[in-house]
Structure 1
């Protein structure tokens, strides 16, 4: 190889090295280590509202006793160590930030000005605390009741016999997850996940399933839940068929739902189409809707307490969104029952909190739908309730 070739090769190599060094992006130095506003993050206002039970409950959506119980349970999971460079954010502040985020749905920037914590720190605190709450409270969900208790309460409070619960789905709006395409896109033009729930006569959830794609109908979500599979296989241990008072035909215990769900032996839904006024079917639909609206009211109470449900969840990770929804459900259980007595945080009968995210959901048609259960209940209403003027006007 000649000298000229070696010189040319050396020049080319030097050019490449210099070019690469010039193309390297120099690390941008931080302007400041910490803003002066965030250095004084003692949050004295939390100590001030401790003396007022009403303000504290309005701020965190739970009583001080429940707050302290929950804090003691998750403190080992969210406590950080202080370093020589800065002090860690206390566990009390982390829990308060998360509860306030769930209660209002405010942006991280708004919470940053309130608690004097940076938005970057809040973006890590909320998912971590929500996951810790779910992990700490899931072991306190007890199965201590009987379906007959739920059915008796429905008959007593809402005049619908043999009803073990009302079920429906609620779309929780989210930001489109990365690389998900149109998987979570629903027909209304938004991205969402489905919160499927079964509610008793006292507006309390007995089953929750969250995470299914928003494009799937309520019937498809129900079919792919563990609750739906157990109901189909008759593994929920529902009471045996019994005749209504004054009747002879045995009637099964059912769950009431809307038309989106299939009509089966243990699922009752309204008569379809337009129905003539003053007819037995009209009275039946009125009574069933009166019992079924409990699940709608439960979703409304959930959104009223935790207003994060009134706007899309601005969370980048789908798993975080699911943890946030479950965290609201757990805290709602605590709020409704006002436990204050550890460790029985929430001992509602027949609770099955199961998280499942089916990738594919198929809704199969239901053939041979049976209407004799509805007819028998209609006759029951006509015999024992009569043609009430309130119902005839419906």
Structure 2
């Protein structure tokens, strides 16, 4: 899950309501993406001044997670001889809070080769799908790459339309025109091979996270994060992960 700022011409009489930390007016596209680059959930239209974590807390997805009404699978043990049951979680960046259903990196800059650093690398590696989904969306639907001369309500509808079209085209597997294989990031023994969408990344509207809002995390999610970190080091390592 991540957020992307969609640039707008400053709305009439809005003051700084839509003015974001990058110093332009925007609405936020908050997206939850699956491993096949499809958008499972989006929320569009929140004012650009609000952080990704703040946008998330005002969504129906957050309310349903809090109410435990999404019928998520029960927590499971990763493998024997573990006795810690790990819940199904959404991978996020530091702009979100650590909770029983959202997992974010360890804060600060952990020492190279440390358990925390390896966990952050593995989390970042898994989160790359949402960056790629946003990148492909902006590369194909170029209306997202320049300021929209529309009021936020109409801009929201256009952004939603691009998301629907993205999912529709992703699922038409008979067509190799949209989002070809080389469009997405890939890896060769841990080395990132940038997808084609990154070639003109500097011209694209930034979708990288905002600064996090400090919040004291509960003990259980902290324990789960440590458990996952130890698992990545001791039982499910990648040959090259100590180098990142």
TM-score range normalised by the length of the shorter chain: 0.7 to 0.9
Contact 2:99 2:218 in 1 (8 A): no
1:368 pairs, out of 214, 218, 222, with 218
How far residue 389 of structure 1 moved from its aligned partner, in angstroms, is 4.3
Which deviates further from its counterpart, 173-182 or 298-307? 173-182
Report the structure, 1 or 2, having the larger strand content: 2
Count of equivalent residues = 204
Q: Mapping of 1:279-290 within 5 angstroms?
A: 279-290=114-125
Change (3 A) 1:385 1:365: closer
1:155 counterpart residue number = none
Task: Indicate the structure (1 or 2) with the bigger Cα radius of gyration.
Answer: 1
Q: Mapping of 1:184-223 within 5 angstroms?
A: 184-223=18-57
How far residue 366 of structure 1 moved from its aligned partner, in angstroms, is 4.2
SS of 1:186's partner is coil
Q: What is the alpha-carbon root mean square deviation over aligned residues?
A: 1.8
2:228 counterpart residue number = 377
Cα distance between partner residues in 2 of 1:389 and 1:245? 20
Change (3 A) 1:382 1:365: closer
SS of 2:157's partner is helix
Contact 2:30 2:42 in 1 (8 A): yes
2:106 counterpart residue number = 271
How far residue 384 of structure 1 moved from its aligned partner, in angstroms, is 2.4
Cα distance between partner residues in 2 of 1:186 and 1:278? 35
Cα distance between partner residues in 1 of 2:86 and 2:218? 18
Cα distance between partner residues in 2 of 1:186 and 1:215? 4
TM-score scaled by length of structure 1: 0.50
Cα distance between partner residues in 2 of 1:339 and 1:277? 41
Report the structure, 1 or 2, having the larger helix content: 1
Q: Spell out, residue by residue over 1:114-172, the C-alpha distance to the aligned partner (whole angstroms, 9 max, x if none).
A: xxxxxxxxxxxxxxxxxxxxxxxxxxxxxxxxxxxxxxxxxxxxxxxxxxxxx010000
1:250 counterpart residue number = 85
Cα distance between partner residues in 2 of 1:374 and 1:364? 17
- Give unmatched runs, 5+ long, in structure 2: 175-212
1:226 counterpart residue number = 60
1:240 pairs, out of 43, 50, 74, with 74
How far residue 364 of structure 1 moved from its aligned partner, in angstroms, is 8.8
Q: Spell out, residue by residue over 1:289-316, the C-alpha distance to the aligned partner (whole angstroms, 9 max, x if none).
A: 111121111100100111111111122x
Cα distance between partner residues in 2 of 1:168 and 1:295? 7
2:135 counterpart residue number = 300
